[in-house]
Structure 1
Amino acid sequence: MRPMIPTRTLPADAASIQEAATILAAGGLVAFPTETVYGVGADALNPDAVARIFTAKGRPAEDPLIVHLAQLSDLPRVTKGYPAVVDHLAAHCWPGPLTLVLPRGPAVPYGVTAGRETVAVRIPAHPVARALIAAAGTPVAAPSANRFGHTSPTSAAHVLADLHGRIAMVLDGGPATLGVESTVLDLSGPIPTLLRPGGVSLETLRDLLGEVAVGGRAAPTGGQVAPGLLDRHYAPDNALHLCIGPDTACQAWLQQAARTQMAAGRRVGLLIPDEDVALFADLAVDIEPLGPASDPLAIAARLYAALRALDARQPDLILARDVGEAGIARAIRDRLTRAAATVHDGSEGVVF
């Protein structure tokens, strides 16, 4: 049995940030807020500290970590040269929710990169994250602060629900504002390739760079080039069934699915935009509204918190639909698709 670590939760003030930096410097683990989700960090240049992240999360070694920097001038500490386009992207997107896959520098342990010669790097926009990294004096490797494969955390309470007793400290900086993870852009090949949609949209990247390919498939064997590519990820404990398609088709499918499952004696949870709530007024379903379908930024900010809240009430199944693929809606679709046990297009019958 893994020994328990006393996990303290402290407000993210200057004194706590300095204490957290001391823990990182000693090889310990600290959870902290970013603008995307909460991360669990370790000294990215300390192989033993990095290994503790994988143990705490139950994360497989083939899933690499993102290295977080305090400022652009730190990039040479973790990369072995990088293309000139990085400076262009940094001027527009850093600090912010954009992760770049670049050549690995020799100081970065292979444990961070899943054995690959590339490293994923970003500069977070959250002031607590940047203050912590600066105080620690080292790049910080930090995946989301949850048990592996589970719904990502957007609050200190979410972190404790998954990692209490496994990490030394949680810096409580309030709710994450963006609510979904960073965009991952691979710059290690001839064409910039979007691997994971996130807070910087594909449309923005194409405005900045011109041609941007869309990838994001997991490697069949060996280490992944970036996190967030595995088919099953971000998942609640109770099965999620997702509909992707025209709004009216998915609304009709959700209604039929809810009635069918309730008739079979199952408790149904719904993760839906505000506009859909009235469609289920005559059904005894458990609803977590996400916000207006016309405001995907609001839905992204609420997505994981709503999914965790609904999951905690233990419905027999959760039904959801996506809200398109423009802008950050592409990231919402990606997270729900990877979290889902089944995906439907709205034109089929209700068969799980």
Structure 2
Amino acid sequence: MNTALTSSPEEAARYINRGRLVAFPTETVYGLGADITSTAALESIFKAKGRPSDNPLIVHISSPARIREVAATVTPEAEKLIEKFFPGPLTLILPRQPWISDLVTAGRSTVGVRCPSNPLTREFLSCCTHPVAAPSANISGRPSSTDWHSVQQDLQGRIDCILKGSASAIGLESTIVDCSSPVPMLLRQGAVSLETLQEVLPSIKASTRHNSSQKAPLSPGQKYPHYAPRAQVILFDTGTGPTAVIPQNAAYIGTAQPPDGFRKVLRCPDLDTYAHNLFRFFRECDRQGIGTICCQRPPSSGIGRALQDRIERAAEPR
């Protein structure tokens, strides 16, 4: 299969409407989309990524007004979050419409929905006949793709089309909130932080991190290893240094000045820049044959909490 490249949202949407797979930009990371009504296309997502079938997909809509096409019920709590954060980097878990395929929901009675804010993405989605189900556009378990070149490196020949856009502005996947239960629950950290969510809904709680022993997860990012480069990832605390002796062939990313001796260094001026560059840095290190990546531990607040989650998952044994 030859993977087409296009800058036209209309052309990319024609692939979706014919039951094909299209990678597309969003403000978080690039997604790999299929028409939500096409069983064959949905199955192709799991095959192209090597994604476990019990890992649910997020449905992308072009405007907040289309959410009831996907969600059977929109709770009052969800309405408040939609009003404040849609379009944007927030996914809501809601009771699903009965017609939605189990391939999207991993057999659960709920579905994840989001409305991206990227203008090119929304134009693309508005040209699609139906909402688009999409996980991140990368090989399952690898760092998410934040530019179309990374998508091409992972999925060339596995998918039908890549919609070329700018690099993702945020660089981390969307925040996920479960609004299907009486108390809204933060399932995955993202750019919309717990503190920001609690300004709108003070009752929101953060869930404990799930592991591989759980059954079908409510949302992506809860069960399987994620975000891992081939290099070993080490998380270290500010001021302590990654190790007494810097590993050979090692790289560093963070906001603090590292000690001398790293082969590759990316010092970021702030946490937003750190988040924006994390997955790109992982991929660059792999291309350069780096053996160890030392990541400064971010603070456990704001986007720092999301950064810490991604780094901890990347550092898990595999």
Question: Which residue, out of 76, 100, 104, partners 2:68?
Answer: 76
Cα gap change, 1:290/1:226 in structure 2, threshold over 3 Å: closer, same or farther?
Answer: farther
**Aligned residue number for residue 350 of structure 1:** none
**Aligned residue number for residue 30 of structure 2:** 38
Cα gap change, 1:79/1:248 in structure 2, threshold over 3 Å: closer, same or farther?
Answer: same
Separation in 2 of the partners of 1:234 and 1:9?
A: 25
Structure 1 position 228 matched with structure 2 position 221: yes
Separation in 2 of the partners of 1:271 and 1:231?
A: 24
Question: Which residue, out of 265, 279, 287, partners 1:312?
Answer: 287
Where in structure 2 are the equivalents of 1:320-335 lying within 5 Å?
320-335=295-310
| TM-superposition CA deviations, 1:217-271 (whole Å, max 9, x none) | 247343111001125210001221222x4x113x2xx14141xx33xxxx22223
Question: Which residue, out of 228, 238, 248, partners 2:239?
Answer: 248
Q: Which runs of 5+ in 1 are unaligned?
A: 343-352
Contact 1:33-1:171 within 8 A present in 2 as well? yes
Find the residue that maps to 1:276 and give its secondary structure: coil
Structure 1 position 8 matched with structure 2 position 1: no
Contact 1:30-1:168 within 8 A present in 2 as well? yes
**Aligned residue number for residue 336 of structure 1:** 311
**Aligned residue number for residue 143 of structure 2:** 151
Question: Which residue, out of 246, 270, 278, partners 2:252?
Answer: 270
Contact 1:272-1:320 within 8 A present in 2 as well? yes
**Aligned residue number for residue 12 of structure 2:** 20
Contact 1:241-1:341 within 8 A present in 2 as well? no
Cα gap change, 1:187/1:75 in structure 2, threshold over 3 Å: closer, same or farther?
Answer: same
Where in structure 2 are the equivalents of 1:55-94 lying within 5 Å?
55-94=47-86
Cα gap change, 1:29/1:231 in structure 2, threshold over 3 Å: closer, same or farther?
Answer: closer
Separation in 1 of the partners of 2:32 and 2:224?
A: 22
Find the residue that maps to 2:295 and give its secondary structure: strand
**Aligned residue number for residue 289 of structure 1:** 266
Separation in 2 of the partners of 1:83 and 1:268?
A: 48
Tell which deviates more after alignment, 138-147 or 310-319: 310-319
Separation in 2 of the partners of 1:288 and 1:172?
A: 28
Taking only the aligned residue pairs, the percentage that are identical comes to 37
TM-score normalized by structure 2?
A: 0.95
Q: Runs ≥4 in structure 1, deviation > 6 angstroms?
A: none
Q: CA deviation at 1:312?
A: 1.3
Q: Give the AA of the match of 2:149.
A: A
**Aligned residue number for residue 132 of structure 2:** 140
| TM-superposition CA deviations, 1:26-62 (whole Å, max 9, x none) | 1100011000000010011222211110010000001
**Aligned residue number for residue 163 of structure 1:** 155
Contact 2:6-2:161 within 8 A present in 1 as well? yes
Contact 2:141-2:224 within 8 A present in 1 as well? no
Q: CA deviation at 1:120?
A: 0.5
Q: When the two structures are aligned, how many residues end up with a matched partner?
A: 316
Cα gap change, 1:63/1:288 in structure 2, threshold over 3 Å: closer, same or farther?
Answer: farther
Which of the two has greater helix per residue?
1
Structure 1 position 51 matched with structure 2 position 43: yes
Q: CA deviation at 1:191?
A: 0.9
Q: Give the AA of the match of 1:310.
A: C
Separation in 1 of the partners of 2:194 and 2:271?
A: 15
Separation in 2 of the partners of 1:142 and 1:184?
A: 14
Separation in 2 of the partners of 1:81 and 1:145?
A: 29
Where in structure 2 are the equivalents of 1:138-217 lying within 5 Å?
138-215=130-207, 216-217=209-210
Q: Give the AA of the match of 1:312.
A: R
Contact 1:241-1:319 within 8 A present in 2 as well? yes
Contact 1:290-1:298 within 8 A present in 2 as well? no
Contact 1:288-1:306 within 8 A present in 2 as well? no
Q: Which runs of 5+ in 2 are unaligned?
A: none
| TM-superposition CA deviations, 1:143-174 (whole Å, max 9, x none) | 11000000011100000010000111111111
